[in-house]
Structure 1
């Protein structure tokens, strides 16, 4: 059963971490100060996660944070797929499909598009000439519907044979989900200078990775649409299912004071909350990382809108690490 955050005392804690080894470090040494200024406390409790989001009970162990601080971290092992729903749909089957048959697309411009038949037809007007994601004779959309096609298209150097395709993959291609282990500082360590986000940045309460901005320019340059489902997530064969934006699906822990709902935790241990509070308002005093403090939650982040293709702007604290679970 989910519990309201306000029902818990402040717990010296935190979550999350750097990155799969294939993705590089979650911090940028050019801007991340090697020495912390202070440690803080933030909300964390295993019961924030919904049933079946975790593969084992949360434990603690020693760890070294991204700025070299030796600390204690929570070990959080996630299943790598939503614990409360099926993923998809992603690509619409034809140019007559309605929004219920496909997912969504966002490119960082602020817009969120339903991937329906009309969207497939208007790609030229959105992104210029050269788009033909469907068979003119049949009206069927070109979709990567095999593992080989998925692996050829869901990569930076897209196989030319799969240009002008709507890219979707199946969880069956990644063993039903890629489990990952997060080491998250139990006491967040504030950085003197914020750290850039260039890899996975956190974990949701339903057991899924929060990914950095989707590389939409590279995707569009190959005349592909890497479709997201309505929850802002999609699958690739290297990272499995992961979220690129908040659309409401991960707002799983309400706040009794009307504050925005908790979505999950960032790799530096601070909570990530929804963009809007219960009255539909956005906070007006957010810093460059999209964070601020209050008396109940301490420092925490608020997610950006889905159309911005991001969750948060930077890391306020030193990060733990992420590795694929063996």
Structure 2
């Protein structure tokens, strides 16, 4: 078994940070020692195929703070977790979107995405104008027949009335688009969120359904959300548009992902590993890493379990993301999460 703990981040920038520039080396050293002591104390409890969480994988400009805290796991056991606070805006991007197409003439370059049945579609003007055919329901009419302009929620009030399970009736047949500027006055920042991730993952006896729980957090500082409520969305004849990274904004979570679109290697960013294995881009809430669906050769692993996880001697147990259009990242939690 190989155990990996990289603490370069904790030495160069305090884990109790408000930014890298003004970090206190004494605090960094203290936290580093705490982590080492924690690992040395609990290392005897590690079972085969577990790799310790590596906090240095998070992009520095996505972080507001990381600290080591006591926590309780879903099995009732006392443990130690990283409390990770991120600013909620993807660290490697300057802008979000595009989301909804402006008109029935809008091409894929200027439009976002929609998924259905496991397939990720370009949300072009042509796609919008053919929704009645796509869904076999003549009530679909997301655009003005005279002008070709798409009905878009272009104010905060409209966004909040439509971006909820019980869509306000006046926003039926709208493309739902919320702007991050409604919830963050600072450019390049989103909605701050804090996540508890076990320092040392603990396997469950029986895998657990994800339900409405956050799936995890990407290294770029963005939430991996539970499945979007597509049944409620479609029943109101709305489309909750995603950008090319299968992310969008809502009032509760700010910008968040509903899928991993690694077709061009940027959503969220990955680096394939030295052996060609799919690159890691996030930690699930149980502390196991989530890797890209495909390896460098464009192949999917063939031995994944029901949670979309498997083990190897280098990475221990880890997950591989589902397809970008599947409205999920992993199938279930193999490990205990903090409560």
Report the TM-score, using the length of structure 2 for normalisation. 0.82
Specify the alignment match of 1:129 in structure 2.
138
> Between Structure 1 and Structure 2, how many residues are aligned?
289
Q: Does the 8 Å contact 1:48/1:253 carry over to 2?
A: no
- Which of the residues 276, 282, 291 maps onto 1:258? 276
SS at match of 1:308: coil
Is residue 296 of structure 1 aligned with residue 318 of structure 2? no
Q: Distance in 1 between matches of 2:338 and 2:269?
A: 24
Stretches of structure 1 that go unaligned for 5 or more consecutive residues are 1-7, 14-36, 322-326
Q: How many Å apart are 1:110 and its aligned residue?
A: 2.2
Q: Does the 8 Å contact 1:63/1:72 carry over to 2?
A: yes
**Structure 1 residues 119 and 101, CA, compared in 2 at 3 Å: closer, same or farther?**
same
Q: How many Å apart are 1:69 and its aligned residue?
A: 1.2
5 Å matches for 1:232-271? Answer: 232-248=246-262, 249-271=267-289
**Structure 1 residues 266 and 310, CA, compared in 2 at 3 Å: closer, same or farther?**
same
Q: Distance in 1 between matches of 2:118 and 2:69?
A: 41
Specify the alignment match of 1:162 in structure 2.
171
Q: Deviations over 1:185-206 (max 9, x none)?
A: 1111111100100121100010
Q: Does the 8 Å contact 2:6/2:54 carry over to 1?
A: no
Specify the alignment match of 2:59 in structure 1.
50
Specify the alignment match of 1:193 in structure 2.
206
Q: Deviations over 1:170-216 (max 9, x none)?
A: 00112252111111111111111001001211000100000111111
SS at match of 2:75: coil
Specify the alignment match of 1:225 in structure 2.
239
Specify the alignment match of 1:205 in structure 2.
219
Q: Whose helix proportion is higher, 1 or 2?
A: 2
SS at match of 1:63: strand
Report the TM-score, using the length of structure 1 for normalisation. 0.85
Over 4 Å off, 4+ runs: 37-40
Q: Does the 8 Å contact 1:205/1:252 carry over to 2?
A: no
Aligned-residue Cα RMSD (Å) equals: 1.8
In our comparison, the structure showing a higher alpha carbon Rg is: 2
Q: Which has the higher contact order (CA 8 A, sep 6+)?
A: 1
SS at match of 1:151: helix
Q: How many Å apart are 1:92 and its aligned residue?
A: 0.6
**Structure 1 residues 228 and 142, CA, compared in 2 at 3 Å: closer, same or farther?**
same
Q: Distance in 2 between matches of 1:53 and 1:241?
A: 13
Q: Distance in 1 between matches of 2:138 and 2:47?
A: 52
- Which of the residues 119, 132, 140 maps onto 2:127? 119
Q: Deviations over 1:235-277 (max 9, x none)?
A: 1111111100000211334311110011110000000000000
Q: Distance in 1 between matches of 2:331 and 2:181?
A: 33
Q: Distance in 2 between matches of 1:45 and 1:286?
A: 23
Q: Distance in 2 between matches of 1:43 and 1:69?
A: 18
Specify the alignment match of 2:30 in structure 1.
none
Stretches of structure 2 that go unaligned for 5 or more consecutive residues are 8-44
Q: Deviations over 1:27-81 (max 9, x none)?
A: xxxxxxxxxx97563253232122311112x221100012211100011111111
SS at match of 1:306: coil
Q: How many Å apart are 1:125 and its aligned residue?
A: 1.1
Is residue 69 of structure 1 aligned with residue 63 of structure 2? no
Specify the alignment match of 1:324 in structure 2.
none
